[in-house]
Amino acid sequence: MARIAVGGFHHETNTFVKPPTDFAYFCTHRDRPPLVRRADVLKWLSGISFALSGFLQVMSKDHEIVPLLWTSGGAGGMVTRDAFERIAAELIAELSQQMPVDAIYLDLHGAMVTEDFEDGEGELLRRIRACVGQDLPIAISLDYHANVTPAMADYADAVSGYLTYPHVDRPETGIRAAHAMQHLLKHGRTPGRALRKMPFLIPLHSQCTMVEPSRGIIDLTQSLERDGILTVSYLAGFPPSDIFYCGPAVVVHATTQEAADRAADEVARFISLKESEFAVPVLSPAEAVARARQIADNADRPVIIADTQDNPGAGGTADTTGLLFALVEAGAEGAVLGYLCDGEAARAAHAAGEGARITVDLGGRSGPEGVVPFRGTFEVKELGDGKIRTTGPVSGNRDIDLGPMALLEIGGVKVAVTTKRMQALDQAPFRHLGVEPKQQKILALKSTVHFRGDFQALAEEILITIAPGGHLADSSKFAYKNLRAGLRLMPLGRESGIGTLRGSK
């Protein structure tokens, strides 16, 4: 029986949005657990849909689990110095007090940027390695959108990345990390490691693993995990992070350097040949609504419009109004938009009560430039306390708290309003407000790809719109300053022109 220290520290940083992500936000119970410590890690994370949940499922049977700390700030603006230093220091202090341990597993994201560090995870791993020495095995799991760096590859001995987007395999990723950990406990640290960074960025809406080319890339990585190759991970990257190592990567850990290099080169070549296939058509809000209405008139299932640029899962504010304006102005009927985050409007609805009519400025409080509130008179159709058990494959079986919620209606359009941000990746919040998604004509969802996990099977057709928002679908429109030289901003697109030549592996 081994003593295995476990913990987690998640953040997906969009460096182009505000406000920053502070310590209080990490401590808040939202669509995921709050910051939890020691025994509470096991209480909150066991049996739900995170990578640590799957790791515990396998390793707690035969080993002593030493829980440290787990927290997730979701996606948003840069992590403050105060938040990073407090959380990292507490995690490492607890680890120091629990020594000796035989190995460490960390449930990480891989795209955290702080006020001081471009590579939050790499810095955390550097400090942990300094604490425990060079011999202790460390296995990590990473989100599919990780911007992998040499530090992550070097300080860890196995990297298990999510295989799906939408992320329906978080627990399974933890299970794969557990199997890698079993190898490390038996054989020690992996001597072979390889990292290949691809020379182009892939927009999030083109990264879906339910379709090609991403599906084929994932299949290849899994076929290579044999004959001394412990883990092969393709991480598609998170474009709204203005850092040197932004973008897709292949990372391999193996029993020899030759094996690691061979596998990494094979996957990198395969991805290079697929560059032209990363293309998904997008529509303006007016075009999307017109097309949705046309399809819905002759359909028995809802048409889905994905409001990809206001995806809170990519750091969007979840309160932009471009798609709402388009729906109302077009006279759309049987349309529901969600989830729009506006605590003020939710409180006004609760104060007025169900059946009341209220005139409010809805959304549009957080930018970006050009986004304005939607002022209108709404009927309060339903109210909810926002305490919900999710049911879908991406975030199922979580107890979440979205704060006071309201279903507001204007014309033929309903809006599901929350007090806390949540990407529209689960149907349960709609049902909390009395809306059955499959019975709607149009579902307007603030999401990029994750909605497909719980909504795609309902859809007559899926349309992607680019209403103004904090997450730009076209990476070439971001005002990058820190990318590496030669990196193309879109598949087959132009090079950034502002990169540096920092040494890389």
Domains of the chain by residue range: 3-277, 285-465
Residue 35: CB partners within 8 Å, gap ≥ 6?
26, 27, 69, 70, 71, 87
pTM: 0.90
Q: What are the φ and ψ backbone dihedral angles of 305, each rounded to 5 degrees?
A: -115, 120
Residue 133: CB partners within 8 Å, gap ≥ 6?
none
Distance CA 206, CA 261 (A): 27
* DSSP annotation of 21: B
The residue with tokens 């991406």 is: 394
List beta partners, residue 488.
Answer: 200, 495
Residue 73: CB partners within 8 Å, gap ≥ 6?
10, 11, 21, 25, 26, 79, 83
At 369, is the secondary structure helix, strand, or coil?
Answer: coil
First-to-final CA distance of the chain? 36
CA 192 from chain center: how many Å? Answer: 29
Q: What are the φ and ψ backbone dihedral angles of 433, each rounded to 5 degrees?
A: -105, 20
* Ramachandran quadrant class, 340 (left: phi over 0; alpha: psi -120 to 50; beta: rest): beta
* Strands 3-13 and 103-108, sheet pairing: parallel
Q: What is the CB neighbour count within 10 angstroms for residue 331?
A: 12
* Strands 335-341 and 138-142, sheet pairing: unpaired
Contact 8, 141 (CB under 8 A): no
The shares of helix, strand and coil residues in the chain, as percent rounded to the nearest 5, are 30, 25, 45
* DSSP annotation of 325: H
Each residue's pLDDT tens digit in the chain (505 positions)?
Answer: 999 999 999 999 999 998 999 999 999 999 999 999 999 999 999 999 999 999 999 999 999 999 999 999 999 999 999 999 999 999 999 999 999 999 999 999 999 999 999 999 999 999 999 999 999 999 999 999 999 999 999 999 999 999 999 999 999 999 999 999 999 999 999 999 999 999 999 999 999 999 999 999 999 999 999 999 999 999 999 999 999 999 999 999 999 999 999 999 999 999 999 999 998 889 999 999 999 999 999 999 999 999 999 999 998 999 999 999 999 999 999 999 999 999 999 999 999 999 999 999 999 998 888 899 999 999 999 999 999 999 999 998 899 999 999 999 999 999 999 999 999 999 999 999 999 999 999 999 999 999 999 999 999 999 999 999 988 999 999 999 999 999 999 999 988 876 655 643 3
What DSSP line would sit under 69-113, residue for residue? EEEEEEEESPBPHHHHHHHHHHHHHHHHHH---SEEEEEE-SB--
Contact 166, 45 (CB under 8 A): no
Distance CA 140, CA 157 (A): 8
Distance CA 102, CA 1 (A): 10
Distance CA 452, CA 444 (A): 13
Contact 55, 107 (CB under 8 A): yes
Structure tokens at 329: 């102005």
Contact 143, 111 (CB under 8 A): yes
Distance CA 417, CA 403 (A): 10
